[in-house]
Amino acid sequence: MHDNGFRPGGSGGSRSAIKTEGEHVSRVVRVGPLMPYLEEALVRDHGAPLLAGSGTSDAEIAVTSYGTGVTAETMDRLPRLKAIASFGVGYDTTDVAEAARRGISVANTPHVLDDAVAEVAVGLVIDVMRGLSESDRFVRRGAWAAGERFRLTRQVSGARAGIVGLGRIGTAIARRLAALDMQIGYYSRTDKGVEWPFHPDLLTLAKASDVLVVVTAGGPETAGLISAQVLEALGPDSFLVNVARGSVVDEDALVAALEAGAIAGAGLDVYADEPHVPPALLGRDDVVLLPHLASGTTQTRQAMADLVLANVACWLETGELVTPVD
């Protein structure tokens, strides 16, 4: 990992700490585990301690990850908190509404992981439709050598892809799938005015799709969005791919749909209770299971960490964040 170059305050990190009751207290605190490079930079440049156990801190900016987040209870332990810098594009594990109520600004790391997530989404579409992972297991268990023939699969080119959530990542996915000669449609909160057809109703999009790719934001507003009704509309010859948040899909309904043959298969990178995958999915050949790796490239993680550090540095210098969430 290279040195990110951020040195807020200019001399010995003096701007990274405040005096409270005669003690030298860091203005930055770490909430939960972070990637080593980011942790090292925060400790080196800001002396940022880890908020451990039931302890408290007078820090004004907290750095966290999607896996941990900052809850209202955690905010109670940070009485001087003014900003949260989250490592990840998703921030639904942080109580953003409560942060806003308390006047606490929140930043995430958008844009830098769009391409990496889009690559995995496209990979899942091809894998689940063409049965790549399944056929790999077929060869490894000796079925091909024993004279068995692998089943026929669904062609990707010419198929209809429905994108649920046409933000930056959704657009990156749509462009890649269009390059595979897939027909694109999308469902989003608003018509984006793009070249692909907009479906204001999710059921209509599901009925018009051979594969439904979920990339909408997580959180209470989208919990269970992909319901039994949506899966029924998708139909027995179509597939579901989820690279959004596990909470967006009703997992019980998904299991039931797969077991009943109501959909043809699913490609999943995210789950409702990570790292726990519903046991009913583990033995199914019509499901591709990934360990939430969509943004997991060396380049993306570096860029995400650097953006967190940029948010911290900018806050300490100006009281503003580089990438505040809406």
pLDDT, residue 90, reads 85
| pTM for the full predicted model | 0.86
Do 14-112+298-318 and 114-289 share a fold? yes
Please, which pLDDT band fits residue 22 given cuts at 50, 70 and 90? very low
pLDDT, residue 191, reads 97
Tokens read off for 232: 């029924």
* Rounded Cα–Cα distance for residues 157 and 160 (Å): 9
Strands 105-107 and 83-87: parallel
Segment 162-198, tens digit of pLDDT: 999 999 999 999 999 999 999 999 999 999 999 999 9
- The interaxial angle of helices 168-179 and 114-130, nearest 10 deg, is 50
Catalytic residues: 245, 274, 292
CATH (residue range 14-112+298-318): 3.40.50.720
Please say if the pLDDT value at position 156 is more than 80: yes
Read out DSSP for 245-299? -GGGB-HHHHHHHHHHTSSSEEEES--TBTTBPPHHHHT-TTEEE--S-TT--HH
Segment 25-70, tens digit of pLDDT: 799 999 999 999 999 999 999 999 999 989 999 999 999 998 899 9
Is domain 114-289 in CATH 3.40.50.1820, yes or no? no
Segment 66-96, tens digit of pLDDT: 889 999 999 999 999 999 999 998 888 999 9
Domain boundaries, the chain: 14-112+298-318, 114-289
Cis previous bond, 236, omega within 30: no
Strand-by-strand arrangement of the 105-107 sheet: 28-31, 61-65, 83-87, 105-107
pLDDT, residue 12, reads 34
